Structure 1
């Protein structure tokens, strides 16, 4: 261990209890990776703060020694966001996991960043409320804000950026700021909530979040609709949205993925391109909406539609969807899962998915296509042999193919997974001269380039 790191650890132990600073090899290894295919890299030290003050002290020390800092939630990210490629300090927020305040009359909640989605919803249920963003993984809310996560319910409720009213953020020099307030809207100042949500820990460490929550719907109805082709399914979604039907979830699962669902979840769903749908509202209103929806999907060659009103069956349906990534991992032992995502205007979605399937087939890759198609976002799950350089090369070629297709049609290289290191090379293509503005913001807020360096932006 070099002298600077020894001095750093001593300084950290002067401001934190000894059990909150560790260089234990096992813990370092646990913080060297996320759930992506990107190679791991060890931090020099992991710290476990319990208060904003402790995070501020950590940042002051890091800034003094010019040592990199990487915020860490649960490590469920998919593009290498939390991998400390420059070593330094990993800040694990798992001990900052308190629900601080529930303002049920304002439909707001204040939480620490280590609170998980399921933990929050368990607390909110007592008040007849729920938090809407559902990325599948039981991620921390701090991590979800850092990547602007969304998920299955975003077609109705929006992603993380739509839920954030205020953030408490510790900047690179240890300064603590708030980015918003409790009001539903504001015309005062720059929109700092929007700046820090999605910044992936490159501009500051989130230590508190004030989030919008919703009343639990009076009536929830889920359904599975099977189609002869993915193209038919996607066009049905477009028609449903154009008709103004208030759908809460609409997920595409292609034929190959339905086979994985049945094998892993022990279900007997039809192994055809399928839409998983869910409607929220009152029973009388939804009845009319559902009848209209049935007419629409029939016009797009829907082969069958089955409804789930029973709570257990509905939960089984969404658990099957959320567990799909694990279904692929279990189905292809010895291979590594690579998940990529893009998002396009809804009018371009059918063509993009067809293009992605053609590219999968032509490159001879194993994988499936799923997605939150109601907002134009889809994912491709690839099972890669990491010991085969040609397999890795084909996967990278595929990723670039679908990204370029999306960008050329006004889309984005990532709808919800974030940039990290995996999508960094597409930033200039997507943002053009606006990337220079982002670089200036980074330089202004983090002049020593210590906050999650070389994620999103490749700083010189």
Structure 2
């Protein structure tokens, strides 16, 4: 009996697919990396079913690739070794909301928008906002963050407990419901960001927050990127409760105006959002205005009503689509480095200069409140010279970030796109990661060929 026969016998034939359309859907993510078909796609509905799939995988030595919605940007879900893609779309239940504990328990296929719709009934919200309506399992797998991390933290900060199915089919829990613990190794921290290489997540317990009494957004324009970044440092140093603070360069603003129908001043721009109570918020905003003025802010606009505020953040989140529409026929390569905030302006200026040398089209955006920025490059993946330029540019900004004590990826994860930089960033500690991988997945069946090279 083949592994496909065993899968169909256990899961039922309709939840084990070798249909060409289904295989194609699971052969790629939203990145520029080349697709590759899995051998089969399975659709489990419980941890017990995932456990059984893992045991079949181990028995037949067939790779396993977890799959949420395929919104990743570094080839995480592309099954270059073939094997079984485990699609968690049927495991999409919100299992429990505990308002008094500010916790929620969900299955991995729940999307952040679906969760927030349910939480709103309880006066709560889930803070991590990567832009894409990703699944929570996928967001935990890549340690996603996004626009709100400057105030609320990244995905790793929100995970209280994970139910994980290991390579041999064992089901474990990595944490508990307590707000803190000094007991044992921090397994939450180990598994969050492991990109499906150590286990499959089948349940998540997450921290949530009360919806703020008042929310105000603002837009501030500057003559230079350096002035914008200095304003960010000033605002954070002053202890102002800013929930989001995003940088968009002038080229990106121009594309936003075309795509979203806005008429924002074409200049380096900060998008900001403040959360709090009315009295405290008014004081924070006045203080922020003074700091922005000190850094030669040329235009400042508050967006108090929800419609204008939503338009502002919709424009920011749609920026990648704006860049893609401006360059039809090309694929989007999104870089993702993180620096100490003191080095952010230098890093962005270096990236801007290098991008001009490469003559590649694109724009620069960033979650500047935590030192994370992206360059959105449009490339022709069939043009060898253009791809070399793009790879050279990416290496330049990564090496700059690492030379300043930063990271090759702030939030998108490693996948296959950032594997080449892991030794450079981690040094001998990479050997510890490799040892953990070999211990938990001795046959290298869980998302093989991702994160790092085992023999490096």
Where does residue 62 of structure 2 map in the other structure? 67
Q: 1:203 aligns with which of 198, 204, 215?
A: 198
Where does residue 184 of structure 1 map in the other structure? 179
| Cα shift at 1:219 | 0.3
| Cα shift at 1:286 | 0.8
Q: 2:274 aligns with which of 276, 279, 283?
A: 279
Residues in 2 aligned to 1:442 and 1:140: alpha-carbon distance in whole angstroms? 24
Q: Does residue 236 of the first structure (1) align with residue 231 of the second (2)? A: yes
| Greater mean alpha carbon deviation, residues 112-121 or residues 262-271 | 262-271
Where does residue 3 of structure 1 map in the other structure? none
Give unpaired runs (5+ residues) of structure 1: 1-5
Residues in 2 aligned to 1:110 and 1:305: alpha-carbon distance in whole angstroms? 41
| Cα shift at 1:454 | 1.3
Residues in 1 aligned to 2:324 and 2:364: alpha-carbon distance in whole angstroms? 15
| Cα shift at 1:101 | 0.1
Give unpaired runs (5+ residues) of structure 2: none
Where does residue 29 of structure 2 map in the other structure? 34
The count of aligned residue pairs is 455
| Cα shift at 1:18 | 1.3
**Aligned residue runs from structure 1 range 26-425, under 5 A:** 26-425=21-420
| Cα shift at 1:387 | 2.5
Residues in 2 aligned to 1:260 and 1:173: alpha-carbon distance in whole angstroms? 49
| Greater mean alpha carbon deviation, residues 123-132 or residues 240-249 | 240-249
| Structure 2 SS opposite 1:238 | helix
TM-score after normalising by structure 1: 0.98
| Structure 2 SS opposite 1:35 | coil
Q: Residues 88-145 of structure 1, C-alpha deviation per residue, up to 9 Å, x if partnerless?
A: 0000000000000000000000000000000000000000000000000000000000
Q: Residues 341-378 of structure 1, C-alpha deviation per residue, up to 9 Å, x if partnerless?
A: 10011101010000000000011111100010000000
TM-score after normalising by structure 2: 0.99
Residues in 2 aligned to 1:319 and 1:49: alpha-carbon distance in whole angstroms? 34
| Cα shift at 1:326 | 0.7
Q: 1:449 aligns with which of 444, 447, 450?
A: 444
| Cα shift at 1:386 | 1.9
Residues in 2 aligned to 1:17 and 1:141: alpha-carbon distance in whole angstroms? 26
Residues in 2 aligned to 1:183 and 1:126: alpha-carbon distance in whole angstroms? 24
Residues in 2 aligned to 1:451 and 1:383: alpha-carbon distance in whole angstroms? 31
Q: Residues 407-459 of structure 1, C-alpha deviation per residue, up to 9 Å, x if partnerless?
A: 00000000000000000010001000100000110010000100000100212
The CA RMSD over aligned residues, in Å, is 0.7
| Structure 1 SS opposite 2:256 | helix
Residues in 2 aligned to 1:234 and 1:267: alpha-carbon distance in whole angstroms? 23
Q: Residues 176-223 of structure 1, C-alpha deviation per residue, up to 9 Å, x if partnerless?
A: 000000000000000000000000000000000000000000000000
After the TM superposition, which parts of structure 1 deviate over 2 Å for at least 4 consecutive aligned residues? none
Residues in 2 aligned to 1:15 and 1:170: alpha-carbon distance in whole angstroms? 17
**Aligned residue runs from structure 1 range 3-14, under 5 A:** 7-14=2-9
Residues in 1 aligned to 2:13 and 2:383: alpha-carbon distance in whole angstroms? 44
Residues in 2 aligned to 1:390 and 1:236: alpha-carbon distance in whole angstroms? 38
